[in-house]
Amino acid sequence: MPEKSYRLDLQYHGAPFAGWQEQPGATAVQGSLKESYSEFLGVFVEVEGSARTDAGVHARHQIALLRAETNVPARAIHLGILPYQREGMHVFRAVEVANTWRPRPALSREYRYFLWKEADPPLFLRPFTSGTNCELDLARMVEAAGYLEGEQDFTSLRAAGCTARHAIRRVERVDVIDRGPYWEFRVIGNAFLRQMVRIMVGTLVNAGSGKIEPADVGRILEKKDRALAGPTVPPQGLFLWRIALEEDEEIAIPPTVWETTPGGN
C-alpha cells in the first residue's frame, strides 16, 4: 500500500495535555494524535507539528503532517477521526499533500495572551485566562513592547531547560490591546524559545505596574539574565493563535471564546 501524507489543521485545549511534543509517561498532543489515527487506520502513523506548545497552553491553530500507509481519502481523515480523538482536541481540516511536504519551517507564528483585569476571572473564562490585581498602564506597556521587537538575543526570556541551540529570535510585532475587562497581548515572530511569550507578558506587566521602567526591558535583554525579567505568567491565558506557512492559503479557523466575547476580535 502506498504511503500518503496529509496536512492537518487542528485545535486543542491545553489543560489535558503536557504540551505538543510526545514524551514518555505524559499525555501530549502529538502522541495523542498518533494513537488516535493509528487506532482509526489500523496502521503505524507518523505525526510532525509546525510548532511546540508547553503544558497547559492552548492552540487555536496548529498545523501537523500525518503520514501513513493507507488509501483513505482526506475527507475520511478529517471526519473518521472524530470517534477516536481525545477530548479537548479537534482536527477541523485535512488535505492530502505531496510526500515531500513538511509543516516546518513556519513563515510566522502568532501567539495571543489574555489577562483579566481582576484577580478572579469569571468562572466560564477561567480555563482561558489568568487574572491580575495590578493596575496596569497601557502606554507604559506599549512603550516596553517596542524593545521586544526585532532580531535579538532573548536569553533573558528563556526558561530553564530550554533545549534550543541559541536564543536569537526575530519578533516581528508585539501589541498590547485594552479590551475593557481584559488585556490582550499579541506576539508575532518566526520562532520562540521555551516559555518565551509568557515571560514577555510577565515583563510587560512589570512595566505596566511600575515595577520597572519601559526602557529597562532593553537593558534586561542586553544583560542576558533570566532573573532580571518578569515572572512566567500562567499557561491557560496563552493561545498559539495562527501559523503561516510559505505560499499558504487563507483558511477558516473555528472561533475561540475570545472571538465571541464582547470586545474580542
Contact 134, 153 (CB under 8 A): no
248 catalytic per annotation: no
CB atoms within 10 A of CB 221: 22
Return the C-alpha cell found at 76: 475520511
The CA angle 257-259-262, to the nearest 5 degrees, is 90
Q: Name the residue type at position 97.
A: V
Count of other CB atoms within 10 angstroms of residue 119: 10
Q: Omega of the bond prior to 2 within 30 degrees of 0, cis?
A: no
Q: Quick one: cell of 27? A: 499525555
Residue of 9, 54, 120, 137 marked catalytic? 54
Which residues are known to be catalytic? 54
